[in-house]
Amino acid sequence: GTEVLQSLTPAQQIIKIVNEELIVTLGGGQSRLVSAAHPPSVAILVGLQGSGKTTTAAKLALHLKHVGQSPLLVAADNRRPAAIEQLVTLGEQLNIPVYSEAPDIPSKDICVRALARAKRLVTTWVIVDTAGRLHIDEAMMVELAQVKKTLKPSEVLLVVDAMTGQDVVQVAEEFHSKVSLTGLILTKMDGDARGGAALSIRWVSGVPVKFIGIGEKADAFEPFHPDRLASRILGMGDMLTFIEKAEKTFDEQQVRELEKKVRTASFNLDDFLSQLREIRKMGPLAQLVEMLPGLSQLARQLPEGMEEKQL
């Protein structure tokens, strides 16, 4: 029922319509974190065991630190023996303070004292890593409800593994009905365009996706942009993310010097090597190729790890 624009073929017009609908289904615009009226703001991370909650807590804290906030991590997962140690180690590596206590202390008590510490340290965000289970059970939900009541968070974020498939939808519904989620963080969104989970979970739960994890490194984490994922799903690339990655990696002065060298034909192998090193900092090559319009199919045809070896 839509008039085909003169500059487009009917096939391109259909892709345009599908792209617009995908963006609407994925949430329209970017959904940002909501901060409390009086700091510190509190974000509780919930989810099943193995979804990557602890690592995601550290990634979120680093993201907030990069945008000028001062976060405090709270190790409130007293069910998984190594969770507290893991968070403390990640905090040390990223130079972010972590509040932790012995594993036998109830989560609710840890959170009360952590909040008092955050006020003394004058932090702007408190990020709480809570306990997960391999399945949803009543005891876990009661504990989460207590923690939520104690902390009165401005954000309750469900961390889900994008590779779990349609089970993700049921998990999101269960958590949403018990603790009223405010947002989702999808992990393992690297590699091919795993947009299916984002689409289903957003459509069924109505909860916005706020961040996506796109790799194992601490900085492989970015705010979720519905238009960019829709573009990736349709194989149209994602130039904006590509440009942002490049801006973070390349120094403007360095770029000017390289341009000068190319113009004067004095660009040598040492310069080429330094350029390759900068590109490697931007992430796996297959991931970068996928962001370039028209090359997403090529990215899928590359044997795993081959492009890194070639580089």
pLDDT-based confidence at residue 157 (cuts at 50, 70, 90): very high
pLDDT digits (tens, 9 = 90+) for 195-205: 677 787 788 77
Q: Is residue 214 pLDDT above 60, yes or no?
A: yes
Three-state secondary structure of the chain: CCCCCCCCCHHHHHHHHHHHHHHHHCCCCCCCCCCCCCCCEEEEEECCCCCCHHHHHHHHHHHHHHCCCCEEEEEECCCCCCHHHHHHHHHHHHCCCEECCCCCCCHHHHHHHHHHHHHHHCCCEEEEEECCCCCCCHHHHHHHHHHHHHHCCCEEEEEEEHHHCCHHHHHHHHHHHHHCCCEEEEECCCCCCCHHHHHHHHHHHCCCEEEEECCCCCCCEEECCHHHHHHHHCCCCCHHHHHHHHHHHCCHHHHHHHHHHHHCCCCCHHHHHHHHHHHHHCCCHHHHHHHCCCCHHHHHHCCCCHHHHHC
pLDDT digits (tens, 9 = 90+) for 268-291: 888 888 888 887 777 777 777 777
